[in-house]
Amino acid sequence: MRNCITSVAGGPTAIGPYSLAVETSGRFLFVSGMTPMDPATGKMSDGPVAVQTRLVLENMRRVLGEAGASLADVVSCRVFLAQLTEKNFAEMNAVYKEFFTDGYPARTTVGAQLMNMAVEIECVVRLGDA
């Protein structure tokens, strides 16, 4: 059994054949890569890595809220940076630390060819017991 989230009120909407998040009967939530899309305009941010990372994590927080979870429930993240440089990593990391303050999830950061964005982040969330 699974529950697919494809849109969030006041938040992002899936723009392709994927779910924003999938909850499994095992009580895990698998969240698709969140992008720096402004939910108010539907447009991707073209700001610097720090601005895009903040928007990505705000979108993630909205999706998690829809599933009854929070960033504190995240157990693992994958961060994709279009330009994996020391500067971009440091900018992303500084914002990331603002959002994950009560213990950090496991994380992998990789350089990736991204379309029209500097950063994308996906996560796995452990949901409370039923």
Burial of residue 91 (number of CB atoms within 10 Å: 0-12, 13-18, 19+) = buried
Task: Decide: 124 and 31 in contact? Cβ < 8 Å.
Answer: yes
Nearest to 49 by CA among 76, 79, 16, 4: 79
3-state class of 8 per DSSP? coil
For residues 100 and 2, which has the higher predicted lDDT (pLDDT)? 100
pLDDT digits (tens, 9 = 90+) for 67-105: 999 999 998 999 999 999 999 999 999 999 999 987 789
Tell me: pLDDT of 1 over 60. no
pLDDT digits (tens, 9 = 90+) for 10-43: 888 877 677 788 777 778 999 999 999 999 999 9
Q: pTM of the full predicted structure? A: 0.86
Which two three-digit tokens encode residue 98? Answer: 């603002």
Task: Decide: 69 and 40 in contact? Cβ < 8 Å.
Answer: no
DSSP structural state of residue 116: S
